[in-house]
Structure 1
């Protein structure tokens, strides 16, 4: 997803809409960032909230105690029993990211991985096509179709599965294929997919 600034009226809040831990973000520009940990940080069950201190303690009347950020801040995020295993897994991911050079280094690696796949789509001369405007393309989720022969998408995904490249089926509202290449996906996985795409296009062009 791309980062967009939306406004509810002229003075509405800015919303950060992106997959968390994709690239470096200046958190000081936001009053609150609410992020699910799954995909790039850890397993489902962990939510990360970064809230500006001056906003803490201003919960709307009727807010449940455990959903008031002041409650969490005052108890060092331990007001209720946290998902310990999920948090432990996040800690391992953070250590791994730091070992790779931090988020800035991971950001560059993600861009390089995505470029390999996008370049392969462009090089297919229309056999494969990415329907997303260039300026809005994601480095994490790359959808693509076979516009001239959509009936070939099923066989393509079958061949991909035989090579260990799974869950390529596109979102049910869009169709086609979608390669999810989150932080944990090694470049070797992208190369394997590209090799299949090139071979498949040659055989079916």
Structure 2
């Protein structure tokens, strides 16, 4: 934290619901706003009012508190990172070892959170998505501009969910290789 003067973070998906923003600012930077700076962006006003200059988004702040409690209960960010790396490795390994599934993203830039994949026979993608939905695995259809499929394995997705997806992929492969 000491390396930065201001940390401004949109919190959606990782900390809380859309609309929650986290701002951490070093004390020596507070009070230097220009005259044209809107009051809501003058951090001195927020500091003088204990971050309560306006009514905060109570539900969003509450949800962030729950997420922070959960992160701490899991052992902190380092432990959650290890869990996320493990989940991503299991899924990417299954795709890379598959005879029918492919990942269109180069290994060095793959996301730990959103894993895109396709089928060698693209006409089977709808069938795979339909079968997955029957097993209560939803939202696998890829982004409308890219196509294919995408598994979002953010911190809320348990390891068991990734393992279930991989088992489903292996079963599908056995029937369609």
With the length of structure 2 as denominator, give the TM-score of the two structures.
0.92
TM-aligned CA distance change 1:150 to 1:59, over 3 Å: farther
Please list the CA deviations of residues 52-74 of structure 1 after superposition, one character each: whole Å capped at 9, or x if unmatched.
Answer: 33333333552211122222222
CA RMSD of aligned residues (A): 1.5
Instruction: Find 1:169's aligned residue among 141, 148, 160.
Output: 141
Quick check: which one's helix share is greater?
A: 2
TM-aligned CA distance change 1:76 to 1:150, over 3 Å: same
TM-aligned CA distance change 1:64 to 1:140, over 3 Å: same
The structure having more radius of gyration, on CA atoms, is: 2
Instruction: Find 1:140's aligned residue among 109, 113, 116.
Output: 113
**Maintained 8 Å contact 1:37/1:48:** yes
Query: How far did 1:102 drift?
Result: 0.7
Count matched residues: 177
Q: Which residue of 2 aligns with 1:78?
A: 52
**Mapped partners of 1:152, 1:60: distance in 2:** 58
With the length of structure 1 as denominator, give the TM-score of the two structures.
0.80
TM-aligned CA distance change 1:139 to 1:70, over 3 Å: same
TM-aligned CA distance change 1:173 to 1:29, over 3 Å: farther
Instruction: Find 1:90's aligned residue among 27, 51, 64.
Output: 64
Asked if 1:46 corresponds to 2:29, the answer is no
